[in-house]
Structures are given as C-alpha cells and as structure tokens.
C-alpha cells in the first residue's frame, strides 16, 4: 500500500492585542538599571559590584532586526518593579492562557480550511514551553474545540512546530490519522530575563496553528508536503533550566539561571552553516534546485542570520519577497516564527511554486518542510 500524501490545508494565527516598541522596552530597562546603580553606588565605587550598562534602541535593531513585539502582559513587563508577565491566576475549571491562545489560532486555521472540528483526529501542542506538565495543553485545546481522538504535547524549543508537522505528516502517511492540528502557543516573555541587557529585547508572544491533512480531504488551494527532515545536535549555547527538579529550594525559584540564556554570537556562527547545509542537502535529496525555491519561510530569531542563510541557499541576497521578515514586528516567537511568516506570506504564490518552511534553535534543533502549492 502506498503512503497517503500529507498536505497543509490551512494555517491560523493569534496575535496578542498589545505591542511593545524598542523605545518603551529600553525606557523600562534603563529605569531599572539606573535604580540598581544608584542603590549599589557604594559597592560599585568600591569595585565590589559591576555597574549595569544602559540598553539602546539602536543596538537592538542593528543586532537583531527586532523593532517591536506583541505580548500578553504589557503593563507588568514594562513596570521596572516587575519586568515579567503577570495575570490573575485562573481556577482549574477555566481555560488556561496558553490553551486559550492556541484555540484562537486553531479556530482561525479550521475556518480557513472550512473544517468541522469533528473531522479532526488529533491535536499536537508543539511549543518551546508548556504552562504546566499535565493534563497536556493539547488535550485542553482538543477539549475546548470539541475534537475527538487524541492529543499530546511536544517540545523541541524553536523547532517544535516543524517537528510537529513531520509527526502529523507521518501519522497521515501511515494512515493513523487523516486530519491533525499542530498548535504552537508561545509565551516566551515568561522565560526571558527582562533585567538582562543582552537579551531583554528578544522575545514576543503569539500562537499559530497548522492543519495537516490527507490530500483526498484537503480544501483548495492547499500545500502538498513534498518532504520533511529533522536534525538535532546537542548544545548548551541556548538553555533554559526552569523545571521542578531545578527549583527545589525556595532560594532557586526565579533566579537568573532558571530563565532563558544564550551565547548569541556562538549560536549565530554555528547554526547558520548547519541550517544552510541542511536546506541544500534536503533539497538535493528531493531533486529540487535550491536556487529555484520561490520562498523561504525561515525561523524568526535574527535578521542577520536569515540574510546569510537565504543567501547561501539561493546563491544571491534574498529579497523580502523571497525570504519575508516578521521578527521586526513580532520579535522572536520561538517555534511560531516560521509559521507566522508562512501564514502571512504564502497566499500570493502560484500553483506549482515550491518553498521551504525552516526552523532552528535550542537543542540545537532544526526542521525543514518543503511544500508545493496545489490549486
Ligand atoms: N544595548 C546596547 N548595547 C548592547 C546591548 C543592549 N541591549 N546588549 C549588548 N550590547 C553590547 C555589548 O555590550 C557588546 O559590546 P562590546 O562589543 O563593547 O563588548 C556589543 O553590544 C555586542 O554584544 P553581543 O551580545 O555580542 O551582540 P550581538 O551583535 O552578537 O547580538 C544577539 C546579540 C543575541 C542579538 C545576536 O547574537 C543573535 O541574535 N544571535 C542569534 C541568537 C539566536 O538565534 N538564538 C536563537 C534563539 S531561539
């Protein structure tokens, strides 16, 4: 029996209503840093403590390309006394924040595909952080949507969505499911150290959904999944130590090393060649000339990285049309980044056009999903 062809029937997007500009973020950080320096003036003067340097809008934009980011908790993130997301704790019988975002993105994808939730077989919640260990976020999303079948969570940091797409595609290829929702709610502002000048500007919040289905039930137009490939290589250069075993003592809860940390320069140098080669090798295996790719929907962490990767793949500097940017307004939205780019910049392609959705990040992890538009 030949494998059933998986396709992307539709994608969905939930964007939080509030956005923070670099100027707003820098004003908050600098107020914190100036207060810290004043408070510790004697120790700094004695050489016992290092003075905190100020952040700047120019640096952030030049180093990363991020100009603003959407967030779930603007006021608390900007309050120099808090600098973390805050919302009222919800009782167990109320939908959790991550599930609520995921449901909105999933509904958007289902509506675009004209799909009834009753026809969906499985929900994967694929994201870089989960709000809790269990019950799985995916099962809460499944329940809220009224989907029968099964759901589970998976985490491969920034590559969670592409790993989820391959998992869903494999379910369809093997006949274990015909319609699978891959939902990626990302609230990385809760794991970011807003008091760290080197990384306070990186993340934004968002949710995406990808409906992966068997070709014989897909709406028109849709995207044939031509090939998927995954790769992981262990690295400590992007790390988050949060977790119940690591927050065992009251003193360790909320300390800096339980939040996101990275060696940004090393990540840049090591991941660019790894991902460029992966896209080229996978294209060759599929008989696709990389230079002929109509569009690259790349992970949205850093503008410079994307410029280099797309240049290596296409053989020339990519235009915005060839490699669209969303990190300027969304920031780094872990696994959702490449899916936002695909969601916003794919309708204009013609039947037969081939492109690649590509994620990369902590692990290291990387995923490539080659897609061909079908009429
Ligand atoms: N404001 C002003 N200056 C700042 C600053 C800030 N907020 N943060 C750092 N700087 C300064 C540093 O002090 C340093 O100064 P020095 O050269 O005098 O020592 C200089 O800017 C360069 O700092 P560096 O951290 O090396 O910056 P960078 O140019 O490498 O950019 C990243 C940092 C993180 C934006 C960039 O490396 C990156 O995005 N890398 C890829 C990360 C990635 O993809 N991660 C995946 C996560 S999923």
Q: How far is the CA of 59 from the centre of ligand 1 (A)?
A: 8
DSSP letter for 118, please: G
DSSP letter for 176, please: S
User: Using a 6 Å cutoff on CB, does residue 152 contact ligand 1?
Assistant: no
Q: How far is the CA of 70 from the centre of ligand 1 (A)?
A: 21
Res 257: pLDDT: 77
User: Using a 6 Å cutoff on CB, does residue 198 contact ligand 1?
Assistant: yes
- CA dihedral of residues 104, 107, 109, 112 (deg, nearest 10): -130
Q: Which atom of ligand 1 is nearest to the CA of 271?
A: 44
- CATH annotation of 224-374: 3.40.47.10
Res 255: pLDDT: 60
**Would you call 292 exposed, middle or buried from its count of C-beta atoms within 10 A (0-12, 13-18, 19+)?**
exposed
User: Using a 6 Å cutoff on CB, does residue 66 contact ligand 1?
Assistant: no
- Dihedral sign, Cα of residue 308, residue 311, residue 313, residue 315: negative
Q: Mind giving me the DSSP string for 272-312? A: HHHHHHHHHHHHHHTT--GGG-SEEEE--S-HHHHHHHHHH
Name the residue of 59, 200, 366 whose CB sits within 8 Å of the most ligand 1 atoms, as the mutation to test its pocket: 59
3-state secondary structure of 96: coil
Nearest residue by C-alpha to atom 1 in ligand 1: 55
Name the residue of 24, 57, 63, 366 whose CB sits within 8 Å of the most ligand 1 atoms, as the mutation to test its pocket: 63
User: Using a 6 Å cutoff on CB, does residue 30 contact ligand 1?
Assistant: no
Res 139: pLDDT: 98
Check if 125 is active-site.
no
Task: Tell me the pTM.
Answer: 0.96
**pLDDT of the chain along its 375 residues, tens only?**
678 999 999 999 999 999 999 999 999 999 999 999 999 999 999 999 999 999 999 999 999 999 999 999 999 999 999 999 999 999 999 999 999 999 999 999 999 999 999 999 999 999 999 999 999 999 999 999 999 999 999 999 999 999 999 999 999 999 999 999 999 999 999 999 999 999 999 999 999 999 999 999 999 999 999 999 999 999 999 999 988 777 655 555 556 778 899 999 999 999 999 999 999 999 999 999 999 999 999 999 999 999 999 999 999 999 999 999 999 999 999 999 999 999 999 999 999 999 999 999 999 999 999 999 998
User: Using a 6 Å cutoff on CB, does residue 336 contact ligand 1?
Assistant: no
DSSP letter for 207, please: E
Residue 79, by phi and psi: left (phi above 0), alpha (psi -120 to 50) or beta?
A: beta
Catalytic choice (158, 188, 247, 358): 158
Q: How far is the CA of 264 from the centre of ligand 1 (A)?
A: 6
Nearest residue by C-alpha to atom 12 in ligand 1: 198
In contact, 209 and 108? CB cutoff 8 Å? yes
Res 358: pLDDT: 98
Half-sphere exposure of 44 (CA within 13 A, CB side): 13
Residue extents of the structural domains in the chain: 224-374
Query: Which CA distances in Å does 64 have to 38, 67, 101, 124, 372?
Result: 30, 9, 26, 30, 30
d(CA 52, CA 63): 19
Diameter over CA atoms, the chain: 76
d(CA 240, CA 136): 20
């Amino acid at each position: 029996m030949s494998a059933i062809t998986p396709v992307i029937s539709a994608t969905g997007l939930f964007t939080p209503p509030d956005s923070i500009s670099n100027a707003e973020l820098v004003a908050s950080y600098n107020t914190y840093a100036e207060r810290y320096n004043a408070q510790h003036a004697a120790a700094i003067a004695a050489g016992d403590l290092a003075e905190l340097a100020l952040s700047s809008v120019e640096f952030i934009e030049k180093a990363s390309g991020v100009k603003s980011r959407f967030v779930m908790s603007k006021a608390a993130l900007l309050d120099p006394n808090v600098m973390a997301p805050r919302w009222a704790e919800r009782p167990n019988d109320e939908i959790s924040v991550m599930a609520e975002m995921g449901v909105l993105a999933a509904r958007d994808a289902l509506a675009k595909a004209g799909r009834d939730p009753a026809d969906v077989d499985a929900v994967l919640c694929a994201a870089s952080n989960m709000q809790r260990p269990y019950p799985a976020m995916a099962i809460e999303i499944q329940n809220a949507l009224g989907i029968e079948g099964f759901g589970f969570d998976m985490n491969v940091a920034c590559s969670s969505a592409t790993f989820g797409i391959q998992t869903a595609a494999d379910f369809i290829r093997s006949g274990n499911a015909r319609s699978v929702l891959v939902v990626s709610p990302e609230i990385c502002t809760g794991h970011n150290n807003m008091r760290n000048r080197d990384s306070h500007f990186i993340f934004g919040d968002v949710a995406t959904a990808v409906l992966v289905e068997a070709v014989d039930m897909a709406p028109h137009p849709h995207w044939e999944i031509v090939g998927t490939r995954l790769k992981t290589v262990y690295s400590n250069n992007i790390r988050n130590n949060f977790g119940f075993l690591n927050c065992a003592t009251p003193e360790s809860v909320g300390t800096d090393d339980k939040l996101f940390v990275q060696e940004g320069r090393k990540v840049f140098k090591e991941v660019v060649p790894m991902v460029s080669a992966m896209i080229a090798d996978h294209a060759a295996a599929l008989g696709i000339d990389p230079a002929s790719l109509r569009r690259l929907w790349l992970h949205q962490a850093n503008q410079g990285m994307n410029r280099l990767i797309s240049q290596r793949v296409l053989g020339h500097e990519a235009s915005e049309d060839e490699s669209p940017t969303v990190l300027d307004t969304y920031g780094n939205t872990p696994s959702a980044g490449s899916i936002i780019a695909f969601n916003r910049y794919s309708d204009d392609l013609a039947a037969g056009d081939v492109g690649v959705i590509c994620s990369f990040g902590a692990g290291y992890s990387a995923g490539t999903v080659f897609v061909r538009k079908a009429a």
